[in-house]
Amino acid sequence: MYQQTLYGIVNPIDEEVINKLNKSKSWKYGYNSEHDVVVISKTGMIGEVYQIQNLKIALPKKPKKVFRFKENKWQAAEYPKELNRIKSIFDWREYPSDFKNKYIDYIESEFEKRDEGFWFYNKGIPTYITGAHYMYLQWSKIDVGKPDFRESNRLFYFFWEACKADQRCYGMCYLKNRRSGFSFMASGETVNLATINSDSRFGILSKSGVDAKKMFTDKVVPISVNYPFFFKPIQDGMDRPKSELAYRVPASKLTRRNITSTDKVEELSGLDTTIDWKNTGDNSYDGEKLKLLVHDESGKWEKPNNILNNWRVTKTTLRLGSRIIGKCMMGSTSNALDKGGDNFKKLYYDSDVTKRNKNGQTNSGLYSFFIPMEWNYEGFLDEYGWPVFDNPETEVFGPYGDAIYGGVIDHWKNEVDGLKNDQDALNEFYRQFPRTESHAFRDESKNTIFNLSKIYEQIDYNDSFAIKTSITRGSFTWRNGQRDTEVIWVPDSNGRFFTSWTPSNSLANNVIHRGTRKIPGNAHLGSFGCDSYDISGTVQGGGSKGSLHGMTKFHLEDAPSNYFFLEYISRPPTAEIFYEDVLMALHYYGMPILVENNKPRLLYYLKERGYRAFSLNRPDKHKNVLSKAERELGGIPSSSAVISAHAEYIEAYIQNHIGVINDEDNMDFGNCGSMFFNRTLLDWSNYDINNRTRFDATVSSGFAIMANFSKQKVVDKKDNQINLNFAKYSNKGFVSKIIS
- Interatomic CA distance for residues 647 and 166, integer angstroms: 48
82-96, 666-680, 706-720: which range is least confident on average? 706-720
Comparing 394 with 720, the larger pLDDT belongs to 394
Q: What is the pLDDT of residues 31-83, one digit of tens each?
A: 999 889 999 999 999 998 998 998 999 999 999 999 999 889 999 999 999 99
Reply yes or no on whether the pLDDT at 263 is more than 60.
no
CB atoms near residue 389 (< 10 Å):
16
pLDDT band at 730 (very low <50, low <70, confident <90, very high): very low
Report the pLDDT value the prediction gives residue 10, as an integer from 0 to 100. Answer: 52
Report the pLDDT value the prediction gives residue 238, as an integer from 0 to 100. Answer: 77
CB atoms near residue 257 (< 10 Å):
7
What integer is the mean pLDDT of 460-487? 85
What integer is the mean pLDDT of 457-480? 82
Q: Out of 374-383, 525-534, 552-561, 584-593, give the one with best mean pLDDT.
A: 584-593
Q: Which helix (H) or strand (E) holds 431?
A: helix 423-432
Comparing 1 with 661, the larger pLDDT belongs to 661
Reply yes or no on whether the pLDDT at 266 is more than 50.
no
pLDDT band at 619 (very low <50, low <70, confident <90, very high): confident
328 in Cβ contact with 293 (< 8 Å): yes
Reply yes or no on whether the pLDDT at 7 is more than 50.
no
Question: Pick from 710, 706, 686, 697: which is nearest to 548 by CA?
Answer: 697
Report the pLDDT value the prediction gives residue 20, as an integer from 0 to 100. Answer: 77
428 CB-contact burial (10 Å; exposed 0-12 / middle 13-18 / buried 19+): middle
Where b means 16+ CB within 10 Å and e means fewer, 211-240 reads: bbbebbbebbbbbbeebbbbbbbbbbeeee
Q: Out of 496-500, 533-537, 691-695, 715-719, give the one with best mean pLDDT.
A: 496-500
- Interatomic CA distance for residues 247 and 202, integer angstroms: 11
What integer is the mean pLDDT of 177-206? 93
- Interatomic CA distance for residues 93 and 97, integer angstroms: 9
Report the pLDDT value the prediction gives residue 12, as an integer from 0 to 100. Answer: 58
Strands 526-531 vs 546-552: parallel, antiparallel or unpaired: antiparallel
What integer is the mean pLDDT of 492-506? 93
What integer is the mean pLDDT of 301-309? 91
Proportion of the chain above pLDDT 70, given as a percent? 87
Proportion of the chain above pLDDT 90, given as a percent? 58
Report the pLDDT value the prediction gives residue 543, as an integer from 0 to 100. Answer: 58
Q: In the predicted model, what is the mean pLDDT of the chain?
A: 86
pLDDT band at 728 (very low <50, low <70, confident <90, very high): very low
Report the pLDDT value the prediction gives residue 467, as an integer from 0 to 100. Answer: 55
Peptide bond into 304 cis (omega under 30): yes
Reply yes or no on whether the pLDDT at 733 is more than 80.
no
Report the pLDDT value the prediction gives residue 447, as an integer from 0 to 100. Answer: 64
> In the chain, what are the domains?
85-112+148-371 (3.40.50.300), 374-445 (no CATH), 468-709 (no CATH)
Where b means 16+ CB within 10 Å and e means fewer, 602-641 reads: bbebbbebbbbbbbbbbbbbeeeeeeeebeebbbbeeeee
551 in Cβ contact with 563 (< 8 Å): yes
Query: By three-state DSSP, how is residue 467 classified?
Result: helix
Q: What is the pLDDT of residues 398-421, one digit of tens each?
A: 988 899 999 999 999 999 889 888
DSSP one-letter string for 179-208: TSSHHHHHHHHHHHHHTT-SS-EEEEE-SS
110-114, 229-233, 715-719: which range is least confident on average? 715-719
**CA 196, 199, 205, 208 torsion: positive or negative?**
positive
159 in Cβ contact with 172 (< 8 Å): yes
- Interatomic CA distance for residues 331 and 366, integer angstroms: 11
CB atoms near residue 242 (< 10 Å):
11
What integer is the mean pLDDT of 448-460? 84
116-130, 449-463, 568-582, 643-657: which range is least confident on average? 449-463
- Interatomic CA distance for residues 502 and 500, integer angstroms: 7
Q: Could you tell me which residues are beta bridge partners of residue 293?
A: 203, 328
Reply yes or no on whether the pLDDT at 255 is more than 90.
no
Report the pLDDT value the prediction gives residue 93, as an integer from 0 to 100. Answer: 81
pLDDT band at 94 (very low <50, low <70, confident <90, very high): confident
What integer is the mean pLDDT of 450-463? 85
What integer is the mean pLDDT of 666-673? 65
Comparing 272 with 357, the larger pLDDT belongs to 357
479 in Cβ contact with 486 (< 8 Å): yes
Strands 273-277 vs 327-332: parallel, antiparallel or unpaired: unpaired
Amino acid at position 135, single letter? M
661 in Cβ contact with 649 (< 8 Å): no
CB-hemisphere CA count at 13 Å for 507?
16
- Interatomic CA distance for residues 680 and 657, integer angstroms: 14
